[in-house]
Amino acid sequence: MPNINVKPSGNVVAAANGSTILAALLAAGEPIAHKCDGKAECGSCHIFLLEGRKGVSKITPAENAKLDSIVGVGSKSRLACQVTLGDEDVTVELLGFASGF
């Protein structure tokens, strides 16, 4: 059962293996935007996946295409709705509300 270490809050969210980062964060009450409800269409759930990148699902063409359209993406950018957790803990930086989504 992986933990999600959330920045900048410092909260730690226990997540189920196989859940998406978005689903786990929402279940824990973390403030993350999700305008298209997980369809990789809105980009509002953009996060930086700081640690644990090797233990999660790989980026899909749909996610990659959406990320390409977002200002401010970097090498650690992911869409929280498209990242399925494995066994490893991850550290994420939430950006959505701070960047105006």
Q: What does the binding site for ligand FES look like in residue numbers (CB under 6 A)?
A: 34-36, 38-45, 66, 79, 81
Nearer to ligand FES, 10 or 22 (CB): 22
**Closest distance to ligand FES from the beta carbon of 82 (Å):** 7
Which tokens in the block code for residue 29? 């009450």
**What is the DSSP pairing of strand 77-79 with strand 46-51?**
antiparallel
Nearer to ligand FES, 13 or 40 (CB): 40
**Closest distance to ligand FES from the beta carbon of 93 (Å):** 16
**Closest distance to ligand FES from the beta carbon of 22 (Å):** 6
- 24 vs 59: CA distance, rounded Å: 18
The angle subtended at Cα 53 by Cα 79 and Cα 15, nearest 5°, is: 70
- 77 vs 98: CA distance, rounded Å: 15
Nearer to ligand FES, 36 or 59 (CB): 36
